[in-house]
Amino acid sequence: MKKFGILLFVVLISLVGISFVIAKCLGPDASTMTSPIWSNFWQVLNNLVLLATLLVVAYYTYETYCLRKAAVENNTLSYRPILIFDAGAQFCTVKNKGYGPALNTALIIWDGKTMRVTADSAVPGIMAPGIDSYCFNAHIEVDSAGFKKRLPGFSSLIERITGTNHALFCLTYRDLAGNRFYSIINGSNEINYEGVFEHGKIETA
């Protein structure tokens, strides 16, 4: 509180000093007014105070925005799903190691030439976090145009997948707020898990 008082005092003194200098240097000629310097001084001081007030309001508005953004991000992390491939279980078995349920899930299998995606009848639905495993055991072949039509929010991801010449498995899903995510692992063929697991969020364009 003491530091704030000192800072406020310094700011006020600075405003008064700057106002006096501006009024003296840029004020009207002394022959045209009774007190040209002091008359102009109050006008300049008023303008400077107004400007300082606008800057303070702008600063605290930005500060509030940053705090709100951080709070939203922290809240999002509290229910963010993270789907991983369970390499020790049967083929195409997945677990949710995140904090919230995964919605609108789909598994893409890319062999370097053709793409297959989970059939509607095999989609697990809501994948709750925990120890339960979910099996994607039925897939249909689609082209990239067909998949973009099926899941338009993942178009950029499909372009990335079809641009690779090796096999990979990719999970697509959403959280409770509708944010889009993906999980990828490289694979030499349909039944062999290889490579480094990658998880990320698809930013809204």
Separation of alpha carbons 118 and 116, rounded Å = 7
Sign of CA dihedral 41, 45, 48, 50: negative
Does 65 share its domain with 102? no
Does 61 share its domain with 123? no
Name the H helices within 27-162: 36-77, 144-150, 155-162
Does 93 share its domain with 68? no
Separation of alpha carbons 142 and 130, rounded Å = 31
Does 195 share its domain with 159? yes
Tokens of 22: 């501006």
Q: Which domain covers residue 43, as residue numbers?
A: 1-79
Which one of 79, 108, 136 terminates a domain? 79
pLDDT value for 30: 45
Does 89 share its domain with 144? yes
pLDDT value for 32: 47
Which one of 29, 46, 79 terminates a domain? 79
Q: Which residues of the chain have pLDDT under 70?
A: 1-42, 44-45, 72-76, 87-91, 121-122, 144, 187-196, 204-205
Separation of alpha carbons 155 and 204, rounded Å = 11
The number of folded domains in the chain is 2
Does 50 share its domain with 139? no
Does 93 share its domain with 135? yes
Which one of 79, 104, 127 terminates a domain? 79
| Local structure of 26: helix, strand or coil | helix
Does 73 share its domain with 88? no
